[in-house]
Chain A
């Protein structure tokens, strides 16, 4: 017990008003644990996040992080192929997993009194994965079908993949999470096991438990099930190939006969939230809301959908959580009769006008009110709060950063938004893409 107590992270005494109680501690083997309490329903979700994703793959092995995620359901010495999900389902629960550029996460949602069994099984497959060659090859087909369904059958997804590849000159964020088809087709069991042994360890993981649980109970269970697994002393440092200075705008012109609705999309390289310094990212969140929040009130929507009928849809977004530089995006779906060139020019004219005019005060105040209310509404969906903490902690942020985040958002000023806008809207660090209907001669 004393060892655990020594490893407890500092618990912040003051919780923000309305938030679920969040407790965190670290086991001696390096496993970070976050407990989010919500006692409204007798349900719990266990999420185990590994700090490894597609951006941590070796060159030429794209898709291996995601492939391994699938193979984690193929069994250990103790539990046979497919039996993991069957055991969760036998408890009335659901389980699944997902892979991103920076993390791979596994989760189960069950009645709160089944948490111990879920932890036992999840801890078991952290180190005891066993793979049969035939299972691996069949699962590779499943993943090729997944790629066909989600990417190759969807021209918008192919366009995104090409645009993303053009965006990053050197950093692995340019490689699709699911992998390039020819590289997936060449992956085998040894690739998966090598990646598994290198990255799956308690000192490279974050356990988030959310729902009808108390921290002491979670701590005792985590110590029992995850505690005995030794840390991996040879965990590779998380250093990716860095981007060189981006000096030239790129353009991606993608045509496909299956395109029903053409559109313009531009992404700019943008800084992500960094531990301790989240102000710039917070300003970019507000900027994205101002430019592309709701159509009737946002800068792009008003100008292009209301003042003029240039567009049927406009959007702006920003991915704030990432280990390395992320993206700020803008998009315009032109109205019938408007070309992509005209839509792009109109979008740039709106941006230029916004940079000249600055932030509309009333719009700014409405966004702040919505961001504050979002905290109240978020309490209704504990699983999404669990995801927020898991993604943040797996991407280099801390519990303190995540706790502070809503406050940082509230402290954003109109000046900070304009400063962030002037910095981020640099065409030399941007990719402009047109998704076009293929014209056959």
Chain B
């Protein structure tokens, strides 16, 4: 072993990973809202993240896209202010508000300066509790959504993702496109939008994380100001989705030089004892690293793609093991063969002790690196709440990864990776690919 590699090895062995020492406090507002707070007074602003559980999954098939259109209208006029008045007030405060609908939640991301916090909160409160949904604003945002839907019709990545969701989720709302369709969106009325607002934004389903220049008492009062105008309860949440995918290839013809390929099957529930070992196994197969097996086999060894990865897709009501890549139409079959072979191999043979150790070092070393700013910390904390993790998870997570044994990871790999259920959805003009 030459000196250089010895040094790499030594650093790996001797240096312990840094810990995520993020002091998270649970704050309960006088009005009963629970929030996770990280106080940090280095910079005079607060990053505030809200998630209202439900999100796009509250849509019915006939009104697909209602929650998304509603979320897009929250910044388009509220209370006394029309859309322009609202934007002018926000810009003058140099505050930043983003509203978006996700599959599982409506997300509100805000940041505001300490010096103008009170005014920013009043403005945000107005957007959440008394949006106007003015007719001209509805038409303007509807036009934007339709424009984006028209682009999506020609985007192979979006088409592949929609086709996969439709196959995977059947009759569950997860099968519906979040932003609706060219049929449903034109038909949405102001009443539909107001109903989506009442159903989606309620106090019984809100998660809150705040990071920055604010103390617990101030945060409690702020949250009561912000959310007291919302209804106590909203629309019922959908039940669990059944993911029923079978081995095979589904092709959707599309004109273009490449095939976009999405693949997957049912995963492992996030509160299952095998979830962390399964997460480690997936990281070895197709995690976001250049040394993951899929990246090495499909990209580095064969040059078949620019990028390939696999991931555990964890939703509130479903868990999947999935992956994605793009490749030239002529090599779609070859790329699928390699992915299948790797899927089989990890399920049958498991991983090596070296792979496990390297991956644990990576996962435990990289975890604290995610907590590198008020805004990213707030996003991580609210995401954990949405998925039902306890407040000590960030502190405990690395120990759970460290505890994974070779036996654990190989057991989890056998459970997680099921070649007999692995479905490939291909959008493109693949050459010589049999469909089944």
What are the residues of chain A within 8 A of B96 when measuring CB–CB?
377
Shortest Cβ distance from A143 into B: residue: B306
Segment among B137-145, B232-240, B270-278, B415-423 that sits at the interface with chain A: B137-145
Pick from A113, A141, A372, A377: contact of B15, CB below 8 A: A113
Q: How far is the CB of A42 from chain B (nearest CB, A)?
A: 5
Q: Is the CB of B369 within 8 A of A380?
A: no
Please tell me if B399 contacts chain A, counting CB pairs below 8 Å.
Answer: no
| A153-B258 CB under 8 A given contacts A82-B296, A92-B17, A114-B11 | yes
Question: Chain B contact residues (Cβ within 8 angstroms of A): what range?
Answer: 35 or more
Asked if B87 and A297 sit within 8 Å, CB to CB, the answer is: yes
Instruction: Please name 13 pairs of A and B residues whose Cβ atoms are closer than 8 Å in the assembled complex, sorted by A.
Output: A41-B371, A43-B372, A79-B5, A89-B366, A92-B364, A92-B366, A111-B369, A146-B306, A296-B84, A296-B87, A296-B88, A335-B147, A381-B375
Which A residues, 52 to 98, have Cβ-Cβ distances below 8 Å to chain B? 73, 78-79, 81-82, 85-87, 89-94
Whole-angstrom distance between the alpha carbons of A90 and B93 in the complex?
Answer: 44
A199–B7 Cα distance when bound, in Å, is 29
**Is A194 part of the contact surface with B, judged by Cβ < 8 Å?**
no
- Which one, B47, B296, B371, contacts A380 given CB within 8 A? B47
* A294 CB within 8 Å of chain B: yes
- From B7, B8, B147, A312 is in contact (CB under 8 Å) with B147
- For chain B, residues 270 to 309, give those with C-beta under 8 angstroms from any C-beta of chain A: 289-291, 296, 299-307
B361 with A90: CB separation less than 8 A: yes
Contact A296 B369 (CB under 8 A): no
Which residues does chain A contribute within 8 Å of B299, judged by CB atoms? Answer: 142
Q: What 0/1 readout, one digit per residue, does chain A (374-417) give for beta carbons within 8 Å of chain B?
A: 10110111110000000000000000000000000000000000
- From A41, A78, A79, A335, B368 is in contact (CB under 8 Å) with A41
Most buried by B among A73, A81, A90, A113: A90
Distance between B84 CB and nearest chain A CB, rounded to angstroms: 5
Q: Is the CB of A42 within 8 A of B18?
A: yes
Closest to A124 in B: B4
Q: Within 8 Å CB of B147, what residues of A?
A: 261, 312-313, 333, 335-336
Contact of B291 among A82, A138, A295, A336 (CB under 8 A): A82
Binding-face segment, A183-191, A235-243, A301-309? A301-309
Given contacts A302-B84, A373-B94, contact A149 B45 (CB under 8 A): no
Instruction: Tell me, yes or no, whether A341 is within 8 Å of chain B by CB.
Output: no
Please determine whether A138 and B151 come into contact, CB atoms closer than 8 angstroms. Answer: no
Residues of A within 8 A of B131 (CB): none
Q: List A contacts of B364 (CB < 8 A).
A: 92
Contacts A40-B40, A153-B326, A376-B45 given; indicate if A260 touches B154 (C-beta within 8 A). Answer: yes
A42 to chain B: which residues have CB within 8 Å?
A: 18, 368
Q: Is B111 an interface residue (CB 8 A)?
A: yes
Contact assessment for A138 and B5 in the assembled complex, using a CB-CB cutoff below 8 Å = no
Residues of B within 8 A of A43 (CB): 368-369, 372
B256, A258: Cβ atoms closer than 8 Å: yes
Q: Given the known A-B contacts A85-B290, A140-B303, are A117 and B255 also in contact in the complex, defined by CB atoms under 8 Å?
A: no
A114 vs B364: C-alpha distance when bound (angstroms) = 14
Q: How far is the CA of A114 from the CA of B18 in the complex (A)?
A: 11
Q: Do residues A89 and B289 form an inter-chain contact, with CB atoms below 8 A?
A: yes
Task: Decide yes or no whether B257 CB sits under 8 A from chain A.
Answer: yes
User: Which residues of chain B are within 8 angstroms of A258 by Cβ–Cβ distance?
Assistant: 154, 255-256
In the complex, the answer to whether A142 meets B305 with C-beta atoms within 8 Å is yes
B269 at the interface (CB under 8 A from A): no
Restricting to A32-62, which residues have a CB under 8 Å from any CB of B? 40-43
Distance in Å: Cβ of A171 to nearest Cβ of chain B: 28
How far is the CB of A49 from the nearest CB of chain B, in Å?
Answer: 21
Which residues of B are found within 8 Å of A367, using beta-carbon distances? 91
Tell me how far the C-beta of B304 lies from the nearest C-beta in chain A, rounded to whole angstroms: 7
How far in angstroms is the closest Cβ of chain A from B388? Answer: 26
Q: Give A contacts to B, CB under 8 Å.
A: 18, 40-43, 73, 78-79, 81-82, 85-87, 89-94, 109-114, 117, 120, 124, 137-143, 145-146, 148-150, 152-153, 155, 257-261, 293-297, 302, 305-306, 309, 312-313, 333, 335-336, 362, 365-367, 369-370, 372-374, 376-377, 379-383
Point out the residue from A91, A261, A382 that lies within 8 Å of B150, measured CB to CB. Answer: A261
Question: Closest residue to A372 on the B side, CB-wise?
Answer: B94
Residues of A within 8 A of B184 (CB): none
Chain A's closest residue to B254 (CB) is: A258
- Check B17–A373 contact: CB distance below 8 A: no
Separation of A153 and B158 alpha carbons in the complex (Å): 13
| Apart from the given pairs A91-B12, A114-B11, 19 other A-B contacts in the complex at a CB distance below 8 Å | A92-B363, A138-B300, A141-B304, A145-B306, A145-B328, A148-B258, A148-B326, A149-B306, A152-B256, A153-B258, A258-B154, A260-B152, A260-B155, A261-B151, A296-B88, A297-B84, A297-B88, A335-B147, A382-B373
Determine whether the beta carbon of A260 is less than 8 Å from that of B94.
no
Q: Given A91-B365, A294-B87, are A148 and B8 neighbors across the interface (CB < 8 Å)?
A: no
Provide the residues of chain A in CB contact with B11, threshold 8 Å.
91, 114, 117
Q: Is the CB of A145 within 8 A of B303?
A: yes
Would you give the shortest CB distance from B69 to chain A, in whole angstroms?
Answer: 14
Nearest 3 A/B pairs, CB to CB: A92-B365, A141-B303, A373-B94
Query: Is there an interface contact between A336 and B258, defined as CB atoms closer than 8 Å?
Result: no
- Would you give the 0/1 interface string for B342-385, flagging 1 where the beta carbon is closer than 8 Å to chain A? 00000000000000001001111111110111110000000000
A145 adjacent to B371 (CB under 8 Å): no
- Chain B residue nearest to A381 (CB atoms) is B373
Q: Which residues of B contact A124 (CB under 8 A)?
A: 4
State in angstroms the CA–CA spacing of A367 and B290 once bound together: 42
The minimal Cβ–Cβ distance linking A79 to chain B, given in whole angstroms, is: 6
B144 and chain A: residue at smallest CB distance: A312
Q: How far is the CB of B356 from chain A (nearest CB, A)?
A: 13
Query: How many angstroms from the CA of A222 to the CA of B375 in the assembled complex?
Result: 31
**Contact among B40, B140, B156, B301 for A305, CB-based, below 8 A:** B140
**Identity of the chain B residue whose Cβ is nearest the Cβ of A137 in the assembled complex:** B303
Q: Give the CA-CA distance A170 to B195 in the complex, in Å.
A: 58
CB distance from A210 to the nearest CB of B (A): 11
A143 to B299, CA, bound (A): 10
A333 to B148, CA, bound (A): 11
> How far apart sit A146 and B299, CA to CA, in the bound complex (Å)?
11
Q: Give Cα A89 to B292, complex, Å.
A: 10
**Smallest beta-carbon distance A181→chain B, Å:** 10
Q: Are B373 and A313 in contact (CB under 8 A)?
A: no
B296 touches A145 (CB 8 A): no
Q: How far is the CA of A153 from the CA of B328 in the complex (A)?
A: 10
Q: How far is the CA of A87 from the CA of B15 in the complex (A)?
A: 14
> How long is the Cα–Cα vector from A369 to B150 in the complex, in angstroms?
36
A138 and B88: CB pair below 8 A? Answer: no
| B44 in contact (CB, < 8 A) | yes
Instruction: Knowing A148-B257, A312-B147, A377-B111 are in contact, say whether A296-B83 is a contact too (CB < 8 A).
Output: yes
Closest chain B residue to A41, Cβ basis? B372
Within the assembled complex, what's the spacing in Å between the Cα atoms of A293 and B91? 10
Chain B proximity of A186: nearest CB distance (Å): 16
Residue of B nearest to A151 (CB): B257
B residues 1-50 touching A (CB-CB < 8 Å): 2, 4-5, 7-8, 11-12, 15, 17-18, 40, 42-45, 47
Closest to A263 in B: B147
Measured between C-beta atoms, what is the minimum distance from B371 to chain A in Å? Answer: 6
Q: Hey, what's the 0/1 contact readout for B146-173 against A, CB within 8 Å counting as 1?
A: 1110111111100000000000000000
List residues of chain B with CB within 8 A of the CB of A380. Answer: 43, 45, 47, 373-375
Cα-based distance from A40 to B258 in the complex (angstroms): 44
Complex contacts, A153 vs chain B, CB 8 Å: 156, 256-258, 326
Task: Give B324 Cβ to nearest chain A Cβ, in Å.
Answer: 11
Q: Decide: A257 and B255 in contact? CB cutoff 8 A.
A: yes
B327 at the interface (CB under 8 A from A): yes
